């Protein structure tokens, strides 16, 4: 369990640094990449720190559907 | 602990942290989500204003605060784990580190707010800063409430750990992680996207 938490934390920090780097690049798909990385961080916290991976599939699907829908709408408008 | 019975998390009525807390989490995420969609819609009509305003934000502050909250979330997950294994000493230690992360977040946010007020970038400066202040302050209120919840749980953990229910502790932890989740939506969209 501790190893999973440690690995999750490390991945989240690396993703945060990558997001900040992409924000300062003048790159066509930067917004898409930033939102994609924030999706991964969101799922990392929910599924591993909050242990949603152990919850009923209903709660998992609901959260993933919410964040996918939100980030897609924000990107698309 | 008063109740160490195994919880069947696969049961739809018992997600980790409790069903009531998860209903609150979804409602909170929905509230912030709707506001962020409206912010993106406004950005479409005034892209220059949003881009120039976004460039006035300190991305480093936002990134460091993300690290504070993620590290705090990691400590909270460890604290719950050690509580479940009845290692109260380590659980308490990680709870204190969790609180430290939250306090560091608030301290840096205060510095950021001070800079913005000094520069005249207040809530009425433009539409972007209206959203910036409303959303980040609303999030700060959640962090403060989370700190209070963790302080109450920490008091019980210090004085009568045997009376502390795992479900209650998980609920407090879930609320704290919710602050992470909200920030993980606010940071990229407000600080990086436009």
How many CB atoms neighbour CB B107 within 10 A? 12
Residue B93 belongs to what H/E stretch? helix B88-118
Distance from CA of A63 to the nearest CA of B (A): 8
Mean pLDDT of B9-27: 89
CATH architecture of the domain with range B19-193: Up-down Bundle (1.20)
- Range scoring the smallest mean pLDDT among A52-66, B8-22, B26-40, B50-64: B8-22
pLDDT on residue B5:
54
Count Cβ atoms within 10 A of the Cβ of residue B3 and give its class: 0-12 exposed, 13-18 middle, 19 or more buried.
Answer: exposed
Closest residue of B to A34, CA-based?
A: B188
pLDDT band at A77 (very low <50, low <70, confident <90, very high): confident
Distance from CA of A27 to the nearest CA of B (A): 12
* Residue B63 contacts A where some CB pair is shorter than 8 Å: yes
How many CB atoms neighbour CB B117 within 10 A? 12
B90 φ/ψ angles, rounded to the nearest 5 degrees: -70, -35
With the CA atoms of B21, B23, B25 and B28 taken in that order, what torsion angle do they form, in degrees rounded to the nearest 10?
Answer: -130
Q: What is the pLDDT of residues A22-37, one digit of tens each?
A: 877 777 788 888 899 9
Mean pLDDT of B83-102: 94
pLDDT on residue A24:
77
The answer to whether residues B179 and B143 touch, using CB atoms and an 8 Å cutoff, is: yes
Q: Where are the domains of chain B?
A: 19-193
Q: What is the pLDDT of residues B112-138, one digit of tens each?
A: 999 999 999 999 899 999 999 999 999
Residues 6+ apart with CB under 8 A from A26: none
Is the pLDDT score of B3 beyond 70?
Answer: no
Closest residue to B74, CB basis, from A9, A31, A35: A9
Q: Where are the domains of chain A?
A: 2-76
ipTM of the complex: 0.91
* Residue B181 contacts A where some CB pair is shorter than 8 Å: yes
Closest residue of B to A2, CA-based?
A: B78
Residues 6+ apart with CB under 8 A from B31: none
Closest residue to B37, CB basis, from A17, A56, A73: A73
Q: Do A73 and B26 touch (CB under 8 A)?
A: no
Q: What is the pLDDT of residues B35-62, one digit of tens each?
A: 999 999 999 999 999 999 999 999 899 9
pLDDT band at B193 (very low <50, low <70, confident <90, very high): confident
Is the pLDDT score of B141 beyond 90?
Answer: yes
Using alpha carbons, select from B178, B177, B168, B181 the residue that is nearest to residue B17: B168
**Nearest-angstrom CA–CA distance, B59 and A23:** 9
Helix B166-186 × helix A30-44 angle, to 10°:
180
Using alpha carbons, select from B24, B99, B120, B111 the residue that is nearest to residue B61: B111
pLDDT on residue B194:
84
**Nearest-angstrom CA–CA distance, B147 and B172:** 10
pLDDT on residue A30:
82
Q: How far is CA B77 from CA B12, B16, B74, B174, in A?
A: 22, 12, 5, 9
- Range scoring the smallest mean pLDDT among A50-54, B148-152, B178-182: A50-54
Is the pLDDT score of B89 beyond 50?
Answer: yes
């Amino acid at each position: 369990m501790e190893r999973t938490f440690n690995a999750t934390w490390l991945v989240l920090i690396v993703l945060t640094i990558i997001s900040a780097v992409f924000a300062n690049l003048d790159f066509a798909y930067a917004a898409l990449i930033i939102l994609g990385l924030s999706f991964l961080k969101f799922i990392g916290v929910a599924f591993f720190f909050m242990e949603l991976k152990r919850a009923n599939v209903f709660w998992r699907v609901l959260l993933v559907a919410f964040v996918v829908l939100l980030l897609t709408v924000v990107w698309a408008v | 602990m008063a109740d160490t019975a195994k919880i069947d998390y696969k049961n739809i009525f018992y997600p980790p942290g409790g069903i009531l807390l998860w209903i609150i989490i979804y409602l909170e995420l929905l509230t912030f989500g709707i506001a962020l969609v409206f912010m993106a819609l406004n950005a479409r009509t005034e892209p220059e204003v949003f881009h120039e305003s976004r460039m006035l934000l300190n991305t480093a502050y936002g990134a460091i605060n993300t690290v504070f909250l993620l590290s705090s979330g990691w400590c909270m997950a460890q604290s719950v784990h050690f509580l479940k294994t009845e290692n109260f000493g380590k659980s308490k230690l990680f709870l204190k580190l969790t609180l430290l992360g939250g306090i560091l977040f608030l301290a840096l946010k205060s510095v950021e707010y001070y800079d913005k007020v000094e520069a005249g970038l207040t809530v009425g400066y433009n539409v972007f800063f209206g959203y910036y202040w409303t959303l980040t302050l609303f999030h700060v209120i959640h962090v403060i409430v989370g700190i209070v919840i963790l302080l109450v749980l920490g008091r019980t953990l210090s004085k009568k750990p045997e009376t502390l229910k795992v479900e209650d502790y998980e609920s407090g932890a879930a609320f704290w992680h919710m602050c992470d989740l909200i920030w993980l939506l606010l940071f990229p969209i407000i600080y990086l996207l436009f």
